[in-house]
Amino acid sequence: MADSKDANVPVIDLHNISKIYGHGEAEVRAMDGVSLSIAKGEFVAIMGPSGSGKSTAMNMIGCLDRPTNGDYLFNGVHVGNLTKDQRAILRRNYLGFVFQGFNLLPRTSALDNVELPLIYKGVPAAERRAQALDALAKVGLKGREHHDPSELSGGQQQRAAIARALVGSPQVILADEPTGNLDTKLSLEIMELLKLLNERDHITIVMVTHEEDMATYAQRVIWMVDGRVERDGPPAEVFDHERHSA
């Protein structure tokens, strides 16, 4: 459906996107005329102060939301024209999600959690199991397949969540503050893992983070303020500018 044969078409292409909550006095422009495009294989970090619209942008990119104004093309397909179910199918086929709070199903083994997206895709049981085991091995959770989330450390839970995002062979992994609940050492391990997936498997990664240390893993930083893209470029350049303006 959203597979473009043309390698030059960006995976993610936002044209003047606005997302407005509320009316009149209470109106909030969570995104205010955002235009940006992300090419296949990029590793992008979205940064900015709290409330600047980063999560809103991620939900938009992740096809969980629809813009108030503007066009979003995913692989050249107008997401704004898709129904709720069509967007669900697009998500299951092309996108993987990693959340700050891991969001694994409680009292459900790592393996069952990772198999979940494949169940919705209708992958047969045996194949599903093999793919899930493979994804868990990739994130270094071999031997932990049958543990519940409560029996895993924070870092291990986030690895399981990455395995779940990874299992359907997505084009894009979207991670909203994936290291927000982890200490520095574990955060760096998770970043190494994302970097590996980006470099080896050519998965496009879009990540929201507060920390420069994590953002330096990306090739590109998008700095948002008040629902607008204020700066967009390589990490060093963006940080340098922010330091000078601060």
Partner 1 sequence: MIWETVRLAIQAIYRNALRSILTVLGVVIGVGAVIAMVTVGQGSSDQVTADVAKLGTNVLMVMPGAGQMGPGNNSVSAALDAKDVEALIDQLSSVRTAAPYNATSLNAVFGTEDTRTSVAGTDTRYLDVVDWPIVLGRGFLPTEESSGKAVCIIGETVRQELFGNTNPIGEKIRLKNVSCEIIGLFEAKGASSFGSDQDDIVLMPIKAFQRRVTGSTDITMIYVAAASNVSTDRTLVDIEALMRERRRISDGEEDDFNVRDMKQMASMLTGITDVLTGLLSAVAAVSLLVGGIGIMNIMLVSVTERTREIGIRLAIGATANQVLLQFLVEAIVLSMIGGIVGILLGLGLAAVASNVMAIPFSPDLAIVAIAFLFSAAVGVIFGYFPARRAARLDPIEALRHQ
Ligand X SMILES: Nc1ncnc2c1ncn2[C@@H]1O[C@H](COP(=O)(O)OP(=O)(O)O)[C@@H](O)[C@H]1O
**Which residues here bind Mg ion, judged by CB under 5 A?**
55
Interface with ligand X includes 178 (CB under 6 A)?
no
Residues with Cβ < 8 Å from 31, sequence gap 6 or more? 17, 18, 19, 53, 56, 57, 60, 67, 227
- For 130, the token pair is 């093999």
- For 155, the token pair is 């870092």
Compare residues 56 and 187 and give the one whose CB is closer to ligand X: 56
Contact indicator for 141, 110 with CB cutoff of 8 Å: yes
Which residues in 5-64 contact ligand X (CB under 6 A)?
Answer: 21, 28, 30, 48, 50-56
Which residues in 46-65 contact partner 1 (CB under 8 A)?
Answer: 59, 62, 64-65
Residue closest to 66 by CA, chosen among 99, 17, 28, 23: 17
Residues with Cβ < 8 Å from 75, sequence gap 6 or more? 2, 3, 4, 9, 11, 94, 171
Compare residues 160 and 214 and give the one whose CB is closer to ligand X: 214
Output the smallest distance, CB 28 to ligand X, in A: 5
Applying CB under 8 A, among 84, 185, 200, 244 the residue interacting with partner 1 is: 84
Q: Which residues bind partner 1 (CB under 8 A)?
A: 59, 62, 64-65, 84-85, 88-89, 91-93, 96-97, 99, 103, 105-108, 112, 116-117, 119-122, 125, 164, 168
